[in-house]
Amino acid sequence: MASMTSSSTGRVEQAADSARDAINTTRESFSEAGDAVRKAARVGAKEAAAYGRDGADRAYAAAQDVSRSVSDYIRQRPVESVLIGLGGLVIASLLLRRR
């Protein structure tokens, strides 16, 4: 009877060890997967930031080009520029009055 108990205990201990190993392996796998996800998120965030900076640089350059063009037009045709500005103010006041 004693040998039967010790063999049962041995099997239980062996099963417990196997379960512990499986849990540790799963924990390590989850940890590695989490690390991979965090790394991918960092890379994605860096790429998105670079893309955003690039878009902002293009928008800023376009705004500078527009301001140069408007400045040149105002220097070349000051009377027309004033009339265009006044026309814009009249249109804006008419649109705001309706609301």
Buried b (16+ CB within 10 A) or exposed e, 77-98: eeeeeeeeeeeeeeeeeeeeee
Model confidence pLDDT, tens digit, residues 49-92: 888 888 899 999 999 998 998 888 888 988 888 888 889 889 98
pTM beyond 0.75: the answer is no
Model confidence pLDDT, tens digit, residues 13-30: 887 788 888 888 888 888
Cβ pair 52, 45 in contact under 8 A: no
Biggest distance spanned by C-alpha atoms of the chain: 114
Q: Count of alpha carbons within 13 Å of 81, Cβ hemisphere only?
A: 10
For tokens 């000051």, name the residue.
78
